[in-house]
Amino acid sequence: MPLPLTQNRRDHPTQGLRWSLLVLVFLALCLPARAQEPLARQDIFRKHQPAIESAVAKALRYLASTQAADGTYPDSYGRSVGVVSLVGMAYLSAGHTPGYGEYAEELDRCLRYVLDSQRGNGLLDKGDSGHGLMYAHNIATLFLSECSGMVDVETQDQLGPVLARATKLILEAQAVPKNENHEGGWRYKPDSRDSDLSCSGWALMALSSAKLNGAPVPDEAIQKAVAYVLKNHDREEGRFGYTDPWGHSETLTGCGLLCLELSGYHGTESTPRSGEYILKHRQHIINNAHEYYANYYNAQAMFQLGGRFWAQYGDWMYTEYLPKQQTNGSWSNGRNGGTYGTSMMVLSFTVPYRQLPIYQRDETVDELP
């Protein structure tokens, strides 16, 4: 069950930034750069900060200008709960909240669309998700979990049961009998008997977020998911693959690395090797069909590693992608539409903001050198 409102994430020691939004805005506008250190603590962020803030502001205006009254978008998969949820998380990642502030209406539309999408079996499904029902469901569940505890009482009363059923479906889909190579993971449908890393990464993030939010997610479910992730890991090279350790590694290694980083594997032998793999192959994601997805996971994972890994990747990312923003504020490679690309780039650029609870960096562990 979700945490009661008196014990929501605002009371969690790592969640104060979001609920101090007005204070942060005041500091950003009124105090010298030295006083902004909690937000801009990374040298690489400070180097690009004015350009990042301008790009994010333009991107959010673009997303607001293209949103329909029901919360959907006009381009490819723009009615999918997965894409709508990515837009919602982009707003959250920049420090905006449902029900208050500049983009309250846009966020509320995203949230309402997802809340109204649930089927009787718990599946969040609305619009065209192609063959990836669980893919969209996992992203939507993560979005709901990140919103839980920061909405008004009436919305929380609706969100809590929807999130509980959505989380339960993810657990049930994991428990569907699979062979040894696929056990512990997820794929496109709730009853799929195989797994892939891409879908499983979103599922693990959704479960981890729900667990942080007080949902009864068994430790065993997280452990089985991590075990599946490791089945797709080439320990020698540090890479991760789609259904084995090798396929699509240039776009999926960030996903596998982030799963490990957020599951207690920081500083183990595997993680720096994966960071090295990402640095070595980062140029290869450019113009890839899954470019924005790969960059999103790479940025999140390298920020978790910290040190030179984030410094080198972050500098490369901002240098490479800031100039590629279109005049209307969007990013698009012509394959998935501006909504998807723009949302993923905002989520990537705002990593140092640390507004999404699931991706908070554990400050009790050292950054890797």
pLDDT by residue (tens digit) across 271-296?
999 999 999 999 999 999 999 999 99
Rg, C-alpha atoms of the chain:
19
| pLDDT value at 14 more than 60 | no
244 neighbors 196 (Cβ within 8 angstroms): no
Pairing verdict, β 239-240 and 233-234: antiparallel
Return the structure tokens found at 192.
């799929």
> How far is it, in rounded angstroms, from Cα 229 to Cα 200?
8
The pLDDT value given to residue 365: 59
Q: Residue 151's CB: how many other CB atoms inside 10 A?
A: 22
51-350: CATH topology is: Glycosyltransferase (1.50.10)
Over residues 164-191, the mean pLDDT reads 98
Most confident of 166-175, 210-219, 330-339: 166-175
User: What DSSP state is assigned to residue 118?
Assistant: B
CB atoms closer than 10 angstroms to residue 95: 22
Assign 33 a pLDDT band (cuts: 50, 70, 90).
Answer: very low
How many beta carbons lie within 10 A of that of residue 251, not counting itself?
25
Tokens of 279: 């640095």
DSSP state of 367: P
- Residue 265: what pLDDT? 85
pLDDT-derived band at 368, boundaries 50, 70, 90: low
Closest to 258 (Cα-Cα) out of 324, 199, 217, 304: 304
Q: Which two tokens stand for residue 241?
A: 């693959």
In this prediction, residue 92 carries a pLDDT of 98
Beta bridge partners of 239: 234
How far is the C-alpha of 202 from the C-alpha of 194, rounded, in Å? Answer: 16
- What pTM was estimated for this model as a whole? 0.88
The C-alpha atoms of residue 298 and residue 279 are separated, in whole angstroms, by: 9
φ/ψ of residue 76, rounded to 5: -55, 125
When mean pLDDT is compared across 33-42, 72-81, 224-233, 297-306, the lowest value belongs to: 33-42
Extract the tokens encoding 85: 């949820």
Terminal-residue alpha carbon distance, the chain: 40
Rounded to the nearest angstrom, the gap between the alpha carbon of residue 15 and the centroid of all alpha carbons in its chain is 16
Phi, psi of 152 (to 5 degrees): -70, 165
- Per-residue pLDDT at 269: 83
Q: Write down the pLDDT at residue 18.
A: 40
